Structure 1
């Protein structure tokens, strides 16, 4: 018996040793494969530099190779070379040295699209629509927008000159750069006498502090209900999301957990402070462009039955990125974990480890989505973002409105209007009168803004397929009649879609006087999601039954 036991122990030792050896060999095989392929890559670049018929830029080729490699993983893993580190830092912190203006290219012209209130560009008098001609002595008319942006940025307290064209006038403006910190809350205010509203656009540094300040101020103004708007918010710093949730739920509650391959990235994030208000009735607005940290906030508040979500299903980004330093001050931002909200849900909507024939990640099918429960027992699903408790369809615009916006005609008319009018009433009071609308229609007379309606596009497709399948001669008369019947009339469309065109004009004009926050404020009275929120918040029984079905408050 003892002999048999010794043989068994010896066998187990050999077996375990073999396993360790196998693991060691496997790991070293992988390391050898990495070293081998890196050597091949370096050799290839050297030989290309030596023998290729034309001169090459090795740095550019290597960057292209790195980016192509990372594209095989997921859209969030990216290489950040040293020269882009400032831009990356600005995206994550919301801070940079510059003049405080969003610039862009409209119809081939570089211009100011939005000066931020209280920063050098706005204080120096630069306006939306000002065409950029020179930065210091550099003619920038043919520069790319990104190149101009780099010229405008620089250390705080340094000076520069900008030459712009405004209408028929050319202006030279002197500016002093300063540290720019973009607020995560561009607007907050009272929708009505009882309901506060906070627009949260990012989760950069101080996002939670910005929301906290807005919430306390709104409560001092009499807010007894609240709408938190994270529509179009792409996310940002995880810690800020946790602290935003903490404003509404008690200390010690789990908000999100992260799980990855390495133990070091596994963590549970809990609320650490007393909330500002754990009882105020709360609606969170979400849509298809609410992602990452926005989904953590919305999902956690839904899981604790703390808020009613209104809008549309969110983007579905449940992947966590970490930044790892590389040689020569470069970095890589790579996916290191997945995050899970309190119910246990993973909200990631795309599986990048299971790609289709075209190399695209696959959506998680409904049959593989799992059920979870909120604190109060409501059923929620994983695998496709955060779904609202109350859905509101997205607004669609007529082709004529889209054409007028896309061709910059509403933008240009707003510039003309602002040059002729020193001031307008406040954002919620200003209206586009019928007289002003007629002036706009008259101004359009010599402008090109033709478009194709959806019905016209459908008939064109029918005509194309009929010709391809040899049926055209048999139905050409019917197609001709259809074309005649549905052919759009621009003059009539300007009447039919007058209200939505007036809304677009109103928003564009308001930006000239009240900037980004003015447009948000102006939308409060006609925003369908906000209207739905007020309906939900206005009926305490409905609000309670959404969060706890079957129970009345």
Structure 2
């Protein structure tokens, strides 16, 4: 047997190592040179534009546009945050700002109060939904856009602000003191029935997990032994809060999510660290296409551990993690640094942005390339397209007339008039629109414009356009026109045909005038098909168990 002469290999290995290190160093130096070169070109270009361009330019605005355009080439979540936008960014991540505590927006002309938040200066001072804002301090805001009015209302905590509004035909003035506004992550929780609790989680800013914990503890003290956690329309937020919320329902030491990126410092495994509040309570989680990011971590982890049944519609599919990096001059950059993977090992990111850049169009993962993973009990789950619910409930379809009445502010305006004609509506559960009240609404609409095109009319219109391009159109023209006349909608008849869904949106809007955001959410739970399915599943424990233990073939 030949003996290996180790001493002969040592120089060879050393040379190989030096060659590898040299190549790596060369590649790194080349990248640094490319970066420095392009930064110098960009700086020179802006300087020469400022000197030679025919009109004056705004360097801040021009460079800002350039930076944002560059970042948009990467993905929608990597963005530049200049110093002047830092307050808005802080609001997004913490849910806190200095102001009066009201959502404002436009309903026709000018800005108005759309929702005063419970317990904050606007509500405490007596501002109401639909109050049109005329002045903020000494500034006339009629004609200003909503963002301009919002900026005037915000300010340092404990500073005074005067607001003049038009309410119906009366002009009213209010003196308020701005406070630190902490928007609730849990705007409402309560009981769906004697034994079933409900928690609406609308965001994942600071303290989200504490709010969910408090709601859960309070509901258990009221005797509930089943729970619905509603993550519909929740865009996500802080990953740490998502981990803590999962920990409320699963044991200590369980992996919730893993982040993996290009650099080692972003690679991390997040596990539960506390004793759960209740690891056995039957649990249903509601999701839809606007449940994203942290919402998907919570829903996906609970699904992977077979801890909850998911009901609703497939989630958004955002499996990317962002990190905020400070820049010079108090600017910041929110940059995508990693992908996250939930306990089964799947990443639910639905769009491959690197491939999308190469191909010039949005590239979604095709079904044929989605990989299978297993939950704790052996159920099959897939990656690459969001979180799929265990029980799918189709999205509600509203008739064109309903959309028209809402978009035209007719529902909003009628609810406002109703509020000033009725002192109270009693308990939310007991309030319903009588036929006589609905008939008043129909009569109120008689001289208002709310025309629309029905789905059938649109289909016939499209067919007619295609038919007109054929040589046979003259032969069938009479039949097409007869069909058009026959399917022409009647607004009066549609108000009867779609009465139930119109009453639902009208009832919710009216309730909001008396019970604000919390009441609007509570009213919306009635006749909610997704909530009804959740209640049906929770009514019999075997329903939940049969879903969570059903292994895929």
Shift of the 270–476 alpha-carbon distance from structure 1 to 2, 3 Å rule, reads same
Shift of 1:525: 2.7
Q: Secondary structure at the match of 1:347?
A: coil
Aligned residues: 551
Secondary structure of 2:398's aligned partner: coil
Once the two structures are TM-superposed, the CA of residue 4 in structure 1 deviates from its matched residue by: 8.5
SS of residue paired to 2:404: helix
CA separation in 1, counterparts of 2:389 and 2:195? 23
Q: CA RMSD in A?
A: 1.6
Paired residue for 2:339? 338
1:174-205 deviations in Å (ceiling 9; x for gaps): 11100111111111111111101010101111
Q: What is the correspondence of 1:134-153 to structure 2 with a 5 Å cutoff? A: 134-153=135-154
TM-score, normalised with respect to structure 1: 0.97
CA distance in 2, matches of 1:507, 1:523: 6
SS in structure 2 at match of 1:283: strand
Counterpart residue number, 1:204 = 205
Determine whether 1:191 maps to 2:192: yes
Corresponding residue for residue 58 of structure 2:
57
* 491-500 or 18-27, larger mean C-alpha shift: 18-27
Cα contact 2:379–2:551 (8 A) shared by 1: no
Q: Which runs of 5+ in 2 are unaligned?
A: none
Supply the distance in 1 between the matched residues of 2:215 and 2:476 (Cα, whole angstroms): 63
| Aligned residues of 1:310 and 1:390 also touching (Cα < 8 A) | yes
Paired with 2:116 and 2:471, the residues of 1 have a C-alpha distance of 57
What is the alpha-carbon distance in structure 2 between the residues aligned to residue 99 and residue 242 of structure 1?
Answer: 32
Which structure 2 residues correspond to residues 78-477 of structure 1 after superposition, within 5 A? 78-355=79-356, 359-477=360-478
TM-superposed CA distance for 1:358, in Å, is 7.7
Moved over 4 A (4+): 1-9
Residue correspondence of structure 1 range 472-511 to structure 2 within 5 A = 472-511=473-512
Contact 2:248 2:276 in 1 (8 A): yes
Question: Which is worse superposed, 218-227 or 360-369?
Answer: 360-369
Contact 1:353–1:361 under 8 Å retained in 2: no
Segment drifting more, 13-22 vs 294-303: 13-22
Q: Do the aligned partners of 2:93 and 2:237 also contact (CA within 8 Å) in 1?
A: yes
Alpha-carbon distance in structure 2 between the residues aligned to 1:346 and 1:65 = 32
Cα distance in 2 for residues equivalent to 1:550 and 1:369: 19
Question: Following TM superposition, by how much is the alpha carbon of 1:459 offset from its aligned partner in structure 2, in angstroms?
Answer: 1.1
Contact 2:253/2:273 (<8 A) preserved: yes
Q: How far did 1:7 drift?
A: 6.2
CA 1:11–1:474 in 2, change beyond 3 Å: closer, same or farther? Answer: farther
- In the alignment, the residues of structure 1 paired with residue 533 and residue 470 of structure 2 have an alpha-carbon distance, to the nearest angstrom, of 48
Match of 2:532?
Answer: 531
Q: Provide the rounded CA distance (Å) in 2 between the counterparts of 1:548 and 1:2.
A: 59
CA shift, 1:425, in A, is 1.5
Deviations 1:26-48 (A, max 9, x none): 11111111111111111111111
SS in 1 for 2:292: coil
SS in 2 for 1:452: coil
Deviation at 1:19, TM superposition (A): 2.0
1:427–1:51 distance in 2 versus 1, CA, 3 Å: same
CA apart distance, 1:313: 0.6
Instruction: Quote the Cα distance in structure 1 between the aligned partners of 2:358 and 2:42.
Output: 27
Distance 1:71 1:236 in 2: 20
- 1: CA distance between counterparts of 2:472 and 2:286? 50
SS of 1:446's partner is: coil
Q: Cα 1:39–1:534, aligned 2, differ >3 Å: closer, same or farther?
A: same
Q: How many Å separate the matches in 2 of 1:357 and 1:485?
A: 50
Q: Give the drift of 1:9.
A: 4.3
Query: Are the aligned partners of 2:100 and 2:122 in contact in 1 as well (CA < 8 Å)?
Result: yes
Query: TM-score, length-normalised on structure 2?
Result: 0.97
1:126 and 1:232 map into 2 onto residues whose CA distance is: 27
* Aligned-residue offset at 1:506: 0.2
User: Is residue 230–residue 290 contact of structure 1 (8 Å, CA) maintained in 2?
Assistant: yes
The alpha carbon displacement at 1:467 in A equals 2.1
Task: Give how far 1:2 is off.
Answer: 10
- For 1:109 and 1:476, the matched residues in 2 are separated by 47
Deviation at 1:461, TM superposition (A): 1.1
